[in-house]
Amino acid sequence: MLIKEATSNLSVMELTHLGSGEVGYIRKIRFEDVARCFPDAPEIDPSTDLWALFAADGTPILLTDNRSSTFFKAAEDDLKTVSLH
């Protein structure tokens, strides 16, 4: 209930920028989503396990085949990270 109360007072613009520049999320990304999220990505073997780092607003930051790299990039950019499944 506390979350509902806190977010009910936020405007759409405030909600859009919540965590901007402070939070990033890391998730495993499907090969099918690479072109949409990372249009400039090189050709990738479809069997490769891929990980991505996104800004809080969903802006793609990093695509890699090494999960640890996403944490290093987040730390470099001073982002607190959360993982999404």
46-63 tens-digit pLDDT: 999 999 999 988 899 999
Is 75 inside any structural domain? yes
- How far is residue 84's CA from residue 33's CA, in Å, rounded to a whole number? 15
Domain count, the chain: 1
User: Has residue 16 got a pLDDT over 70?
Assistant: no
Residue 62: give the domain boundaries.
Answer: 19-83
User: Which residues share a beta bridge with 82?
Assistant: 25
Confirm whether 66 is domain-assigned.
yes
Beta carbons of 51 and 67 less than 8 angstroms apart: yes
H helix intervals, the chain: 2-8, 12-16, 31-37, 67-76
Range of 4-8, 13-17, 21-25, 69-73 with top mean pLDDT: 69-73
Classify residue 37: in a domain, yes or no.
yes
User: What is residue 75's three-state secondary structure?
Assistant: helix
Question: Contact 79/24 with Cβ under 8 angstroms?
Answer: yes
13 in any annotated domain: no
